[in-house]
């Protein structure tokens, strides 16, 4: 507990989302195809998952999402003062993703750039930092990205749900924003539910341990504390979006917090694209913003193994009506699909190791 009893994080100046963009690769691997290879048939936690092409990685996908976000914001990239990319699958161990993205969109060199890591909540970490930087007056605009590629070991339970994709957000002053942050809250503990040591190709996880003491304990604590601090309850929100390792976890968390299926349906994308890790709830938020009306209130809760949850309360502004009409929407990326078989997936994701 802080000395003043306040747990809510709020910037000195009001901050919001000036522009946003999504990116999802076109290739889809059906869950039944994974089950055919590893289980001789049967069901799957998701219908299908998005798979990055042979020439795609976190850098290329982040650039696409960033371009969409900057175009939506309608600003000169040179006005951006920080570019931050959250991911657990950066292509280089020593070389930042953020500098490549910044230069590719024309934002460098007069910026701060950094890569963020915290398993699946690396993207919302970057958002949290952006709120602080913009809210303090250090920068007018920042760019925060959550993006990942599939990391599941062949045959592992994660392989059924580990997808590819993510989202980018340009943050700036409230008076220019499509949606304005009312407050945020973060909750973390040392919970070893999921990890990957240096040099290991695939992550390890604690099987069912990843549910109750990990995902649910942190997500529920973070969301309920945020609402308590904001003086709200589930019925005060029009939409809610949670981290989506599968379809069941966010649906159950929402129900336990008092949210209805209707409140979470627009942002629940896991069945179509799988778990895109650092971009999971951020991508769900883009789907909500694509159709939200002014005055709509949104709760977003991320989750990252290790473990922690970042939660945000935001309200959609009148500026949502002025978004560019000709722009790729999240639903367009989901609809743009090419089915592949398991052998193609193995080739695209370089699953054959010496």
Q: What is the DSSP letter of 50?
A: E
Contact 161, 46 (CB under 8 A): yes
Please tell me the distance from the alpha carbon of residue 171 to that of residue 179, in angstroms, as a whole number. 10
Q: Say which of 90, 205, 218, 243 is annotated catalytic.
A: 243
Contact 123, 302 (CB under 8 A): yes
What is the SS3 assignment for 231-287? CCCHHHCCEEEECCCCCHHHHHHHHHHCCCHHHHHCCCCHHHHCECHHHHHHHHHHH
Q: Which helix (H) or strand (E) holds 173?
A: strand 165-173
* SS3 call for 14: coil
Alpha helical stretches, state H, the chain: 31-38, 58-73, 97-104, 122-136, 217-230, 248-257, 261-265, 270-273, 280-289, 330-335, 342-348
Please tell me the distance from the alpha carbon of residue 171 to that of residue 140, in angstroms, as a whole number. 8
Q: Which of 165, 211, 197, 199 is nearest to 305 (CA)?
A: 211
Q: Say which of 120, 176, 218, 281 is annotated catalytic.
A: 120
Contact 321, 294 (CB under 8 A): yes
Contact 308, 124 (CB under 8 A): no
> Is 243 designated active site?
yes
Q: Say which of 88, 125, 159, 176 is annotated catalytic.
A: 88
Find the largest Cα–Cα distance for the chain. 58
Contact 344, 338 (CB under 8 A): no
> Is 120 designated active site?
yes
Burial grade of 351 (CB within 10 A; 0-12, 13-18, 19 or more): middle
Please tell me the distance from the alpha carbon of residue 102 to that of residue 4, in angstroms, as a whole number. 39
> Is 90 designated active site?
no
Burial grade of 329 (CB within 10 A; 0-12, 13-18, 19 or more): middle
Which positions are annotated as active-site residues?
A: 88, 120, 243
């Amino acid at each position: 507990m802080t000395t003043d009893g306040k747990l809510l994080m709020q910037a000195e100046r009001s901050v919001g989302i000036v522009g946003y963009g999504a990116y999802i690769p076109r290739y889809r691997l059906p869950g039944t195809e994974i089950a055919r290879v590893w289980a001789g048939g049967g069901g799957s936690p998701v219908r299908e998952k998005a798979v990055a092409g042979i020439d795609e990685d976190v850098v290329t996908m982040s650039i696409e999402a960033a371009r969409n976000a900057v175009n939506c914001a309608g600003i000169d990239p040179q006005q951006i003062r920080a570019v931050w990319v959250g991911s657990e699958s950066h292509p280089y161990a020593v070389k930042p993703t953020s500098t490549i993205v910044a230069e590719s969109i024309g934002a460098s060199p007069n910026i701060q750039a950094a890569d963020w890591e915290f398993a699946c909540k690396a993207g919302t970490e970057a958002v949290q930092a952006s709120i602080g930087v913009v809210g303090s007056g250090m920068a007018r605009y920042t760019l925060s990205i959550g993006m990942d590629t599939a990391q599941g070991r062949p045959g592992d339970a994660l392989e059924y749900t580990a997808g590819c994709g993510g989202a980018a957000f340009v943050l700036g002053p409230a008076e220019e924003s499509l949606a304005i942050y009312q407050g945020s809250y973060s909750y973390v503990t040392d919970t070893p539910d999921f990890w990957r040591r240096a040099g290991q190709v695939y992550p390890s996880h604690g099987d069912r341990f990843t549910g109750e003491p990990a995902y649910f304990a942190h997500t529920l604590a973070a969301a309920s504390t945020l609402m308590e601090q904001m003086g709200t309850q589930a019925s005060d929100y029009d939409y809610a979006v949670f981290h989506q390792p599968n379809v069941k976890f966010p649906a159950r968390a929402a129900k336990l917090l008092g949210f209805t299926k209707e409140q979470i349906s627009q942002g629940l994308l896991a069945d179509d694209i799988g778990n895109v890790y650092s971009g999971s709830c951020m991508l769900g938020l883009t789907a909500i913003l694509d159709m939200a009306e002014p005055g709509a209130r949104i709760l977003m809760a991320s989750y990252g193994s290790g473990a922690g949850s970042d939660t945000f309360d935001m309200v959609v502004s009148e500026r949502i009506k002025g978004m560019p009409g000709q722009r790729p929407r999240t639903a367009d990326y989901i609809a743009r699909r090419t089915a592949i078989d398991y052998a193609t997936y193995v080739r695209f994701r370089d699953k054959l190791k010496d």
